[in-house]
Structure 1
Amino acid sequence: MARIVVVDYHKGNLSSVVRSLGEAGGDAVISDDPAAIRSAGALVLPGVGSFGDAMGYLRESGEAQALVDALGRGVPFLGICLGLQLLFERGSETDDGSWAEGLGVLPGSASRLESTRLKVPHVGWDQINLTPHGRACPLFADVPDGANVYFTHSFALADDVPEGIVAARTHYARSFASAVWDGRATFGVQFHPEKSSATGLAMLRGFVRVAGGAA
């Protein structure tokens, strides 16, 4: 079985992600070592904090280039919450509201959810609506359309994300891509599968199967 490296950029507690991957049948460890990230059998990038701060740390530590190198060779990857957004070209969650460059693995950007009617951040359980592309996605093999998952975020993917990689959509303040899949082994979800009960565990099992197949 491929060892799954959960990428640590010192912005939060990753133990719940590691524990959930273990419950899903995976062998997961936490690391901030670029060499371990570059040589990983599979990668999970969780996310807390701001886009700009996260990218600043990942670049300074060498983890950003290690992630790009690993993704370039097709290592199975799952981005969670901010980890999804960092896959893209840019994000506006910075101290001054300017755009910060992301990993640039996928085209598009992440921007703030704006609403005068709804509370932002978007916190709690909400539905994911699978696209035709999403119905073929390994993460959702055992997940029904309209399943409820747990969100906590103020920023989300913007409309410049290509529809061809959108696996699921959610509507809160606006319609946004709540899951993406590049058609190979790169996945990202705006919600937290590790906090989404049996539904989230089913998704993590799907990722573990992909990681095992790549070993």
Structure 2
Amino acid sequence: MIAIIDYGAGNLKNVKHALSTLKIDARITANPSDLKESSGIVLPGVGAFGEAMNRLEKAGFVNEIKSQAERGQPLLGICLGMQLLFDRSFEYGEHQGLGLIKGDIVRFQDDVKVPHMGWNQLKLNGAKKDFAINSQVGDQDYVYFVHSYFARPKHREDILHETEYGMTFTSAVQRDNVMGMQYHPEKSARVGMQILKNFGELVT
């Protein structure tokens, strides 16, 4: 069973619907102890970084997410959920994240339209093209974005996908069992469903 974390800042129903369509067993939960019983975790997210971290902390999820990630349980962060995996964000001040992937969350510069919204293409990190999460996903495949901030990983090897938007930015990351997508796989048609299917297979 995949646990979809409900902390009041996520696009839960669409993620649950996408996983159900793929016949992947998933449950929305607001109970941190359920993470111990799950075989995989999805951390969705919409809104501001600082408020989302406060909600996670108040709901008791922060330590449990870190604990399960350290145990090797597959963890997928989506959109803001991916950003929360990092050390810190500079969205409306400076805020500490989960620290599961080294790096910062920063804002797009004013020379591009913000937010970055709509369909854009992926470029796979060549060193990770054959990773299971990339099965049947290719360079130039389109996925759907809505975001004003992006991840700047400290280590190049953590980058899974990149995208061009006035610059090259990181659009997906992976460090061991911890993965994150800045785009919304649940809104990204065939490619997004394939990525969710691949995650489900990693879990099982």
Looking at structure 1, the residues matched to 127 and 180 of structure 2 have their Cα atoms a distance apart, in angstroms, of: 14
Counterpart residue number, 1:154: 148
> How many pairs align?
204
Looking at structure 1, the residues matched to 59 and 85 of structure 2 have their Cα atoms a distance apart, in angstroms, of: 17
2:71 is matched by which residue type in structure 1? R
Counterpart residue number, 2:188: 196
Q: Give how far 1:171 is off.
A: 1.4
Distance 1:122 1:169, change over 3 A: same
**With structure 2 as the length reference, what TM-score do the two structures score?**
0.96
Percentage of identical aligned residues: 37
Distance 1:153 1:209, change over 3 A: same
User: What do the CA deviations read for 1:113-141 (whole angstroms, capped 9, x no partner)?
Assistant: 1132x210000000010011330222211
Counterpart residue number, 1:72: 70
Question: Are 2:118 and 1:120 aligned?
Answer: no
User: What do the CA deviations read for 1:128-179 (whole angstroms, capped 9, x no partner)?
Assistant: 1001133022221111111000000000012x43101101101113221101
Distance 1:115 1:106, change over 3 A: same
Q: Give how far 1:189 is off.
A: 0.5
Question: Are 2:135 and 1:137 aligned?
Answer: no
1:80–1:190 contact (8 Å) kept in structure 2: yes
**With structure 1 as the length reference, what TM-score do the two structures score?**
0.91
Looking at structure 1, the residues matched to 11 and 193 of structure 2 have their Cα atoms a distance apart, in angstroms, of: 19
Ranges of 4+ aligned residues in structure 1 off by more than 4 Å? none
User: What do the CA deviations read for 1:90-120 (whole angstroms, capped 9, x no partner)?
Assistant: 0112xxx32100000111111111132x210
Looking at structure 2, the residues matched to 145 and 113 of structure 1 have their Cα atoms a distance apart, in angstroms, of: 23
- Superposition CA RMSD, Å: 1.2
Structure 1: where are the runs of 5+ without partners?
none
Structure 2: where are the runs of 5+ without partners?
none
Counterpart residue number, 1:110: 105
1:24–1:202 contact (8 Å) kept in structure 2: no
Looking at structure 2, the residues matched to 81 and 43 of structure 1 have their Cα atoms a distance apart, in angstroms, of: 15
* 1:87-98 superposed matches below 5 A: 87-93=85-91, 97-98=92-93
2:95 is matched by which residue type in structure 1? A
* SS of corresponding position for 1:89: strand
* SS of corresponding position for 2:101: coil
Looking at structure 2, the residues matched to 162 and 58 of structure 1 have their Cα atoms a distance apart, in angstroms, of: 26
